[in-house]
């Protein structure tokens, strides 16, 4: 029996592709999250990832700037599943962010999924989430964190990819942005944000807009990465105490003034001394190594800025 000819795949010339409407915004939150983007809010534990996710939610739901800095380009309902925090904690944090943003909390268009567990590796839970998104039609879906949304091996790309593909399906079919909170590996704060994410490299490859939090010493920092727009380097952040809200610091802390060199300190000491000083006296005041003091004095004498006599060292300007 002669095999049937293989049907070729359909194609279109580039100019025949559907063009985006000219009025369509390219941003959900300007500079921070692209319109209808999927992506990761990543960072090590205790780096305030959930606070950042809630700030995004308030910005989109109210139209107020995210972090009081990044304007919201679109406004609409937000659907949130917070797997690790109690409802009372989520409410308290949202109330605090709304207060700082000048937003009426009572009318804030943020909706919380209240089931105790949601497993995206289960068919029924996927169907239920899709039905909820279809009904509410949120502009943004926030899932926090990924580790509580499955029972798969995060290091296995073959297991991670179907879950991320499902979220991409929600984004494309139901026209919602998706922000997925995910942990970075412990001790990976000095790595590039996407490379520090825990598990498969599928996470980094999946995101259209990714936000990475890290803590260096006591300093929180945020970096922004986009697939189709310019990324942004690390921004310094702080978590206010009352209410607990993330804010961008206006400036980096001023660098500490440079410590004067051994030579500069010796010259100042001699200028202020009432009489010549011996090398031992100078070393005790400067509290430097004998070799460093000896070299600095030799250089000062060679430059004729200091005079050495039987009485000790003194500035050249005081020579009789």
The reported pLDDT for the residue numbered 153 is 95
Q: Where are the domains of the chain?
A: 26-248, 262-318
Homologous superfamily of domain range 26-248: P-loop containing nucleotide triphosphate hydrolases (3.40.50.300)
pLDDT confidence of residue 302: 87
**What angle (nearest 5°) sits at the alpha carbon of residue 209, between those of residues 182 and 77?**
85
- In this structure, the strands spanning 110-112 and 78-82 are parallel
**pLDDT tens readout for residues 134-161:** 999 999 999 999 999 999 999 999 999 9
Query: Does the reported pTM lie above 0.85?
Result: no
Specify the CATH architecture of the domain 262-318.
Answer: Orthogonal Bundle (1.10)
Neighbouring C-beta atoms of residue 38, cutoff 10 Å: 23
> Of 58, 40, 38, which is closest to residue 49 (Cα–Cα)?
40
pLDDT at residue 76 greater than cutoff 90? yes
Residues 143 and 181: beta-carbon distance below 8 Å: yes
Of all residues in the chain, what percent carry a pLDDT higher than 70? 91
Tokens of 224: 């922004």
pLDDT at 173: 96
Residue in 61, 64, 82, 80 with CA at minimum distance from that of residue 72? 64
Cα–Cα distance measured from residue 54 to residue 60, given in angstroms and rounded to the nearest whole number: 10
pLDDT band at 60 (very low <50, low <70, confident <90, very high): very high
Residues 266-290 have a mean pLDDT of 89
pLDDT tens sequence across 215-259:
888 889 999 999 988 888 889 999 998 899 999 997 544 455 566
pLDDT digits (tens, 9 = 90+) for 185-202: 776 555 666 677 988 989
- The pLDDT score that the predictor gives to residue 255 is 52
To which H or E segment does residue 62 belong? helix 49-62
Per-chain mean pLDDT for the chain: 89
What does the CA dihedral 162, 229, 194, 241 come to, rounded to 10 degrees? -110
Stretch 97-104: mean pLDDT: 96
Lowest mean pLDDT among 14-23, 106-115, 149-158, 219-228: 14-23
């Amino acid at each position: 029996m002669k095999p049937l000819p293989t049907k070729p795949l359909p194609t279109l010339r580039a100019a025949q592709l559907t063009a985006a409407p000219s009025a369509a915004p390219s941003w959900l939150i300007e500079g921070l999250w692209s319109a209808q983007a999927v992506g990761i809010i990543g960072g090590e534990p205790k780096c305030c990832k959930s606070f950042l996710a809630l700030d995004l939610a308030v910005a989109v739901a109210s139209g107020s700037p995210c972090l009081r800095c990044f304007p919201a380009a679109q406004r609409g309902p937000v659907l949130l599943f917070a797997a690790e925090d109690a409802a009372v904690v989520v409410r308290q944090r949202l109330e605090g962010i709304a207060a700082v943003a000048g937003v009426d909390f009572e009318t804030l268009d943020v909706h919380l999924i209240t089931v105790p567990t949601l497993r995206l590796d289960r068919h029924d839970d996927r169907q239920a989430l899709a039905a909820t998104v279809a009904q509410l039609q949120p502009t943004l879906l926030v899932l926090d964190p990924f580790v509580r949304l499955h029972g798969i091996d995060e290091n296995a790309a073959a297991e991670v990819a179907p879950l991320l593909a499902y979220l991409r399906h929600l984004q494309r079919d139901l026209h919602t942005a998706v922000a997925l909170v995910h942990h970075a590996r412990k001790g990976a704060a000095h790595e590039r944000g996407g490379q520090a994410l825990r598990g498969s490299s599928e996470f980094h490859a999946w995101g259209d807009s990714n936000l990475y939090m890290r803590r260096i010493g006591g300093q929180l920092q945020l970096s922004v990465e986009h697939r189709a727009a310019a990324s942004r380097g690390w921004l310094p952040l702080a978590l206010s105490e009352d209410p607990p809200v993330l804010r961008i610091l206006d400036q980096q802390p001023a660098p500490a003034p440079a410590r004067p060199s051994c030579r500069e300190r010796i010259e100042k000491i001699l200028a202020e001394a009432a009489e010549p000083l011996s090398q031992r006296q100078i070393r005790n005041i400067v509290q430097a190594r004998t070799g460093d003091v000896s070299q600095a004095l030799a250089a000062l004498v060679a430059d004729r800025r200091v005079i050495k006599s039987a009485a000790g060292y003194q500035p050249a300007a005081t020579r009789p």
